Amino acid sequence: MSSFLARQQAAFGDSLSEAATKIGGSSTSAKKPVPPSPSPSIASIASGAPGGTPKKERDEKLTGIAAATAFQPAQIDISSSTLTQVTYIISWLKDKGEPKTLQDIFQYISLQHAPEERQRELATSLRKNPHIDWIPDPNLTDQDWRSGTYVHRPTIPNVKNPTQLLAYLQKKTDIAGVSVKDLKDGWPDCEKAIDQLEKEHKILVMRLKKDNKPKTIWLDDPSLFHPVDQEFKNMWAAVQVPSLDMMHARLTAVGQKPTSEDPRVKAAAAAKKVVKKKRQSNRVIHTGLTWLPELMAQEKKPKGARRI
């Protein structure tokens, strides 16, 4: 089959050569000679022109040209993908929840057969990442870049149950709340515990209006909670608060000065529109051709009148 294809290619090359000769002979205009190609093309190698190479050598040259034009993965800058691979590794370690060796990580990202320089570069990036903890091998005195294990480091470490959460909140020295998003980084299913601690009045929870999910939490004291009778709640809900105008009028009637200004005065002041004065233009208008009206008046005089 290969010899048949070679004969077909040789015949096709001969026909192209004959057609080019005929076209070139019929043309009357001189053409500039085309400089020879620095390397033989596939068509010239495949053609069976005199002085050509043997069939085996031609096949080897064709294979070499095809391999040279094929896509080479080594041409890609591998170091540019380090950040992306570290992101995948962090997510993978977070899901596993246990230490993993460097060989396990290389196998996960299909880098077990990569050059040593590439593997060493990734190991250095993992040890410097703030979301990954490197655990040295206790059986080795001298640690190298292959030793030890790697585990995910959450934003809030060592908080994975209600007891640890309360202990972490009690150790805080500021009044800033704890973000539930940061808490989920190391404790993904913390919402049930948050709901239970809120019912026990051990934490205060600020929730989102959209889906009522917890957003920020603070420490609470159950001893400060006192139950209120439902009868008192109903009475409080039935109280009608007077309007601001009515409160101002009643305070003025009994001779007391309101703590705030009259809301009606504020409303009237806000309703006034500020009228901006138009800025006067300082542009000077030049009036030219002052002699033109006199000339037009002289032209309108009767024909018998004598010009002075």
- Write down the pLDDT at residue 263: 63
- Condensed to tens digits (0 to 9), the pLDDT of residues 91-122 reads 999 888 899 999 999 999 988 888 999 999 99
- Write down the pLDDT at residue 219: 94
- Condensed to tens digits (0 to 9), the pLDDT of residues 282-295 reads 776 666 666 667 77
Average pLDDT of the segment spanning 185-209: 92
Q: Is the pLDDT of residue 213 over 60?
A: yes
Give the pLDDT band (50/70/90) at residue 24.
low
- Write down the pLDDT at residue 60: 57
Model-level pTM? 0.48
- Write down the pLDDT at residue 234: 93
Ordered by where they begin, the domains of the chain are: 2-22+38-69 (no CATH), 78-152 (1.10.10), 162-224 (1.10.10)
Give the pLDDT band (50/70/90) at residue 154.
very high
- Write down the pLDDT at residue 291: 66
Task: Identify which has the larger pLDDT, 29 or 171.
Answer: 171
Most confident stretch, 3-12, 72-81, 219-228, 262-271? 219-228
DSSP the chain: -HHHHHHHHHHHHHHHHHHHHHHHHH--S--PPPPPPSS--HHHHHS--TT---HHHHHHHHHHHHHHHS--GGGS-GGGGHHHHHHHHHHHHHHH-S-EEHHHHHHHTT-TTS-HHHHHHHHHHHHH-TTEEEE--TT-SS--TT-SEEEE--SSTT--SHHHHHHHHHH--SSPPEEHHHHHTT-TT-HHHHHHHHHTTSEEEEE-TTT--EEEEEE--GGG-----HHHHHHHHHPPPPPHHHHHHHHHHTT---SS--HHHHHHHHHSPPPPPPPPP-PPPP---TTHHHHHHHHTS-TTSPP-
